[in-house]
Structure 1
């Protein structure tokens, strides 16, 4: 696992700002070598790495690249791997060697002379009685005789690696001798010899002989010897030397089966160890008897009837010997810390070695100093862990691991050794296995390198803008940004990271290796109107990073606005007359003038102002226009000035002011009825009621105009008509209000926003025809009649 961080030190960016008013740049000017970019300084790149240095940390099969090495006695230790763990086996063992020889049945012995007493006894043979010796001494040269039987023994293991921990030897013998003299079969005057011992009261020449005055007496020494195969070291390990055998009184002329006296166990172990130190597997065991016949008097004779060694039993136990200064290591040679850049500097910041360990049996108390050691490139780490601390379950060698930073070299291959070191000499009767797993050497280091100086050229829409760093672009048009990132030799730097910052998330510029540049095309629709300050950053490891600030000034798109009033293009004269009460159509076209042909701008905000709250025009997508139907009644008579405003984001806003002159509607008095007769003149008696009725209509629609003011005027008269529903206006006029004769009267009809309509009519007022009736005394008389009355008669005359 590699974790990498990059740190740029001693590097800073000082922000700078462009003037909004772009200035001209002469492309033919020689480029200034001091680019107008943010001040920068040559920095130091530090690569931070944390790397696991060990391969196969779990010791999977095959175990490579791990390998093991041994120091000291290789027979004491062994390296194995299984179950994804590496093992250190401290090889223990125990055994028991047993040698038993029943000489009554075992004749596989080799009779040899005792080098110190080379004369054999008369008879020395292994037979059914055992290793048997008989000897008769009669003042001859064989005063001291001896015999050995040797047996070459082989231990099943090489005892150089083992220590004898217990030993036991048992040897059984018996003996029969002649204790007192007797007549020899050869003649009555000869006596057989008898054994003289120190406890005898007299010599055995005859029953009345003098007192025994020997210095040692006669004896036989039974013995068992151990020796190496070359007899360099010979040790007597068991013996029995008689001193009363042959005693006269009380009589002791035999010894029953008796066990020889054996050296103490520790001495026996020492002798065994010594004789096995030559060959380590073979040694010699010898049984023997040495007879001493002391010359006690003249013509002394000794009769050793039968001396027997019946059996020998030697056994000992042994345990594996573990030698000190023995070590077993699991090793791995790792790579050296690489220099990715020539001339870089490596600094190790941390190195932690960790692994888990366990033991299958408790470590022996006989070796308290044995421990686990770690080496890096043959340099031992100061911390060790005693084997006695190991447990049956895996545990970390140390919480957090060993800090081995001080012994890790940065200039050579890194070799790791995990070692079990045996510090004591001890015996071990069984193999103990210590196992390790999850080995890890985690190294953190920095690689530092001084950045190479760089420059950055800029082209905007293929125009060299390295110095100016700004361009003016109409909204909706693309902008191509091209940069050339160069090293200190002005060569193009490939595989760099070049980003455009300030337009949402940073955007990568694409590299063109053939043309040796990085470029990106952006659309002004993603920018704002006015100045857009963006940052271009160029960087690559081991090169100076550069940031430059560029300005893309986005201007609105040019537009065209056309005014159409009642289907007449009024863009130029901007006025129209309309009849009051009629609807007027206001239509505009709002188009993108940057394109040819001009394209309708949809979804614009187009409103009409000057008539109360602004009113939005309705979009007509089919005919690519905006329109509004205006009611002249909302305008009123006369001139009304209105304004159309059209705008859309990123487009030039347009407005046009125009005039609508609203004219009155034409009207007329359709018909005049005088006393229900259509006429403009009438003769009528004075003081008659004259009914006058008219209809007042719209000239265009011929429809009745209601709510109008209809008046009758003339000399000395002014009357107002009454509206009668949707039919007419009428009034009743008493001709008595007129002058006799011809009266010229004017009927006028007027309503707001309508023209005045008049009509003149004549009314001839005639004098009325009169008559009267005469009643005399309540009786009616005509004017042609005569009333005869008496003189003096009162008459009641009534005239009507």
Structure 2
């Protein structure tokens, strides 16, 4: 096994086989359902008491253990018992009397110049404080001290402004010093070590006992130094305590009685003391820098993973992806005093890591994805560590919970190894390839390739292609375990030798190729005589008589006719061309010899480079026939020629059967094997009359084969030993005769009342064939306009209604047109409109005028109808739709209805019948 991360090395060996092992999660139990597969370990630096962790409720939780506290030491009427007098000096100079009771800490003292008590006594009152826990890892954040001092003295306590040492008795004559009291507050350790005792407040009296102001008492707060001085004092004394939780508060009273008269002085201090004290301070936990705790797991080795993926041997591998993912959150928040703290991800206890800052985490889980590609380089066995690391020292008043979940570690790598060996087998048209293959053009060639591994197993999903003179991709036949392609020797190859390379490849398999040679040969073809007059490639012909020659071009490789060839002949009877009128591979020509003789004819054919035609030779032996005579008779539609002029008149759209009887006048027998042709007046060939039971016949269509006019035609017949016989005749193709007639009546005059309506029904009859004509356009015209007769039922009966006909006689002229060779004559109908009897002439004139306007309106209606309304609503909508689409407009949706029913509805609404009309009689169609 070898790991490579040097790109240059990779470039040198990149042509070897490779396999990408898709990324997977290497972490077991990444959702932390329990503590299985995970280990937890504290770091070796910082303070292990500052952090702890566990796995619970599906999360890994690290607890940064912050806390806070507050302590108050009180002196009042209920807490005085915590205090006691204390003399911290070696000199036992204490006041006359002192003590502690509900009034606080107090002192009483009298100094007498006649040998009384001490001039400078001092006493302390202490309170030894023990905290609930050590403050070694805590920071005091705030502190306050309130002390109240009380004092009562007599007027013999001397102050700088006094006149008498003893009022009204002894003058004040020693002024170097005066009487005063000093009150103090100190913080110290339990030993009250002078080096570890800090005064945090003090007052010294100056005017207490002043005569002029009668200032003989006070009740004032003690002057206290700043908060920081108190914090510093507490911090220092707690640091000196081995347990970091005990200290002493001292309240001191010092009395200074000066000798202010040279004979006798007395100072009386009735009451000095402290009646109230409150020392309160707060503190928070100190979180030490470099404190850490980690969660880790041994995820296994890459070499084992490679083996598990089925690779027993390989050259090396390259890591493509190493991505570590997790979700984390912080509650309640991460403090700004430690912005450098982070979650570190490392491998195998390495000093390198990638990280995500804790201050970026919110109070809900957020996803983190880190690239470990630089950390994993060169490693096989992998241990992943997730470490919560405190990078800054800071104070913390509460516990912060760092939660981590959804841990995953994706690794993707590529294994490089030697390509697997392969084998290639090629079959062409079911035969193993063994040298050049010869095939004709226009053939399908099946190429089958087997791409096999070193155990002769099929290699699936490979790329197998043709290169060289033929290109293409082979398709895999999974069932047969092979690759296949069919090529066309005409479309995919060229005539001659074709070199084709078959190349098979698949990722991690050895590329294999082989070369095959395919030689494409032209199609073998032949020309043979096909008409009945050929006998052993020879035709017996009559001199000066056209001889019909028919050849067949055959693809002998595929046994198929060859069409589209250019076929020519040369020889003693000149040069010419054979044609294939029916595109069936049968080529025809008519060859005439003008003199007796034996003539050799050579036929050549060309149809392109894919065919090889050897020339075909045949002979025509031309002789002058003996004195045999022949008789030619023509029948048209099974009737002998109607008159000597050879004239036949026939309507268009009819078939004409032309039959020729060609008899040997000597024997009276029909002549077999004759060439009988039909040509027009310009000798253009129309067709051959075909032998049929003793005669020759052809059938032509007057519409397709002839013109609507007189058509001069000639039938020619010739046979060996018989001279050419011809008969000319004319077929006159006439238009089909028609008539327009009233339907179901022979009366051509319609009588109606003035202003009435006339219903007209006509039929259009093909009189030549006794058939009705459908789909015609029939119109009428009269002095008041035009109109259209409509065949609503598609039964050949056309009708219309003419409305509001004015007084008088009116000729209605009806005309018809339709497709086909029809001749139409107009039909005239007379309509007589007579005023009804008993009608007021003036009223009738008015009515007639109104009706006249109605006629005009109706004329406008029919004009609109011809333009628009003859289309039903749906059709009109479709036409409108078409127009909109043509203009690029968006059409609306439409509904469909029936056009015929729509016109019928209009007809029924407007029909006024003046002449009774019976039902239709039987019409012969």
Instruction: Tell me the TM-score normalized by structure 2.
Output: 0.47
1:610 alignment partner, SS class: strand
Tell me which residue corresponds to 2:151. 175
Equivalent positions of 1:421-460 (< 5 A) are: 422=391, 424-425=392-393, 447-451=415-419, 453-456=421-424, 458=426
Equivalent residue runs for 1:351-390 within 5 Å: 375-381=346-352
- The structure 2 residue matched to 1:506, chosen from 470, 473, 489, is 473
Q: Which has the higher contact order (CA 8 A, sep 6+)?
A: 1
Give unpaired runs (5+ residues) of structure 1.
12-42, 181-194, 392-396, 671-696, 707-725, 727-752, 758-800
Contact 2:422–2:451 (8 Å) recurs in 1? no
Q: Which has the higher helix share?
A: 2
Deviation, 1:110, is 1.8
Pairing partner for 2:271 from 280, 290, 306: 306
| Contact map agreement 2:543 2:594 (CA 8 A) in 1 | no
User: Which whole-Å CA distance do the structure 2 matches of 1:313 and 1:427 have between them?
Assistant: 25
Contact 2:17 2:507 in 1 (8 A): no
The answer (yes or no) to whether the contact 2:451–2:504 under 8 Å persists in 1 is: no
Separation in 2, partners of 1:413, 1:590? 80
State the distance in 1 between where 2:34 and 2:546 align: 103
Alpha-carbon distance between aligned partners in 2 of 1:578 and 1:231, rounded to the nearest angstrom? 163
Q: Quote the residue 1:729 is aligned against.
A: none
Cα pair distance change 1:206/1:667, threshold 3 Å: farther
List alignment gaps of at least 5 residues for structure 2: 1-6, 363-367, 631-662, 666-670, 682-711, 713-720, 726-925
Aligned counterpart in structure 2 of residue 268 of structure 1, from 217, 226, 230? 230
Secondary structure, aligned partner of 1:176? strand
What's the offset of the Cα at 1:522? 4.0
Structure 1 residue 355 displacement after superposition: 10
Tell me how far 1:123 sits from its aligned partner. Answer: 6.1
User: In structure 2, what is the Cα distance between the partners aligned to 1:308 and 1:302?
Assistant: 17
Relative to structure 1, the CA distance from residue 532 to residue 300 in structure 2 (aligned partners, 3 Å threshold; closer, same or farther) is: farther
Contact 1:500-1:534 within 8 A present in 2 as well: no
Correspondence for 2:872: none
- What does the per-residue CA deviation read over 1:98-140, in whole Å, with 9 as the maximum and x for residues that have no partner? 8485735x5375234537489998564453x555555789869
Pair 150,492 (structure 1): closer, same or farther in 2 beyond 3 Å:
same
SS of corresponding position for 2:230: helix
SS of residue paired to 1:267: helix
* Structure 2: distance between partners of 1:144 and 1:568: 168
Find the counterpart in structure 1 of residue 746 from structure 2. none
What's the C-alpha RMSD, in Å, of the aligned pairs?
7.0
Residues in 2 aligned to 1:229 and 1:578: alpha-carbon distance in whole angstroms: 163
Determine which of 554, 557, 569 is the counterpart of 1:610: 569
* 8 Å Cα contact 1:632/1:662 also seen in 2: no
Whole-Å separation in 2 of the counterparts to 1:481 and 1:617: 41
1:45 positional shift: 0.7
Identify if the C-alpha distance between structure 1 residues 662 and 287 changes in structure 2 by more than 3 Å, giving closer, same or farther: farther
Cα deviation for residue 606 of structure 1 reads 4.3
Structure-2 residue corresponding to 1:685: none
Q: Is the 8 A contact 1:53 1:442 kept in 2?
A: yes
1:164-213 Cα deviation digits (max 9, x unpaired): 35543232211123453xxxxxxxxxxxxxx7999999998996699999
Q: Specify the alignment match of 1:111 in structure 2.
A: 83
Q: Which residue of 1 aligns with 2:16?
A: 45
Give the whole-Å Cα distance in 1 for the aligned partners of 2:191 and 2:22: 62
Deviations 1:589-622 (A, max 9, x none): 736567xxxx5x25644443127675442457xx
SS in 1 for 2:381: coil
In structure 2, C-alpha distance between the alignment counterparts of 1:486 and 1:63, rounded to whole Å: 48
**1:381 and 1:404 in contact (8 A); partners too:** no
Distance 1:653 1:86, change over 3 A: farther
**Rg comparison, structure with higher value:** 1
Shift of 1:533: 3.2
How much has 1:55 moved relative to structure 2?
Answer: 8.3
Contact 1:485 1:538 in 2 (8 A): no
Aligned residue in 2 for 1:258:
220
**Partner residue, 1:537:** 503
Task: Map 1:477-556 to 2 at 5 A.
Answer: 479=446, 481-483=448-450, 485-487=452-454, 492=457, 494-495=459-460, 497=462, 499-502=464-467, 503-510=470-477, 518=482, 520=484, 522=486, 528=493, 530-553=496-519
Aligned pairs for 1:207-222 (under 5 A) are: 219=181, 221-222=183-184
Distance in 2 between the 1:420 and 1:603 partners? Answer: 92
Following superposition, the deviation at residue 578 of structure 1 comes to 5.6
Q: Residues 198 and 212 of structure 1 are in contact (CA less than 8 Å); yes or no, is this contact kept in structure 2?
A: no
Query: CA–CA distance in 1 between the matches of 2:594 and 2:149?
Result: 158
Alignment-derived partner of residue 589 in structure 2:
630
1:346 and 2:306 are equivalent in the alignment: no
Normalising by structure 1, report the TM-score. 0.53
Q: 1:270 aligns to what SS in structure 2?
A: helix
Provide the rounded CA distance (Å) in 2 between the counterparts of 1:301 and 1:470: 149
Q: Which residue of 2 aligns with 1:148?
A: 126
User: Are the counterparts in 2 of residues 604 and 646 from structure 1 also a CA contact under 8 Å?
Assistant: no
The residue that corresponds to 1:409 in the other structure is: 378
Q: 1:443 to 1:634 in 2, by over 3 A?
A: farther
The residue that corresponds to 1:641 in the other structure is 601
Identify the residue that residue 323 of structure 1 maps to in structure 2. 288
Q: Distance in 2 between matches of 1:233 and 1:664?
A: 166
1:258-280 alpha-carbon deviations (Å, 9 max, x no partner):
33243454332222224555699
In structure 1, the residue corresponding to 2:86 is in which secondary structure? coil
Could you report, residue by residue, the CA deviation over 1:32-70 in whole angstroms, capped at 9, with x for unpaired residues?
xxxxxxxxxxx95153869878889xx999999999987
Any idea what SS the aligned residue of 1:273 has? helix
* CA–CA distance in structure 2, aligned partners of residues 636 and 135 of structure 1: 186
Task: Check the 8 A contact 2:110/2:117 in 1, yes or no.
Answer: no
Q: 1:163 aligns with which of 119, 139, 144?
A: 139
Q: Which residue of 2 aligns with 1:716?
A: none
Aligned mates of 2:510, 2:281 — CA distance in 1: 82
Residues 580, 632 of structure 1: 8 Å contact kept: no
Q: Where does 1:52-91 land on structure 2 (aligned, <5 Å)?
A: 71=43, 72-73=46-47
- State the match for 1:709 in structure 2: none
Q: Tell me: CA distance 1:413–1:151, structure 2 relative to 1, closer, same or farther (3 Å).
A: closer
Structure 1 residues 126 and 420, CA gap change in structure 2 (3 angstroms):
same
String of CA shifts for 1:417-466, please: whole Å, max 9, x gaps.
687662x545689999999999999989764323455554555566555x
Residues 573, 365 of structure 1: CA spacing in aligned structure 2 closer, same or farther, 3 A cutoff?
closer
Secondary structure of the residue aligned to 2:585 is: strand
For residues 382-402 of structure 1, give each alpha carbon's deviation from its aligned partner in whole angstroms, at most 9, with x where no partner exists.
9999999999xxxxx99xx98
Verify the 8 A CA contact 1:174 1:254 in the aligned structure 2. Answer: no
Aligned counterpart, 2:619: 659
Q: Quick check: 1:88–1:420 contact (8 Å CA) kept in 2?
A: no
SS of residue in 2 equivalent to 1:262: coil
Query: Does structure 2 retain, via aligned residues, the 8 Å contact 1:49–1:445?
Result: yes
In structure 1, C-alpha distance between the alignment counterparts of 2:276 and 2:12, rounded to whole Å = 97
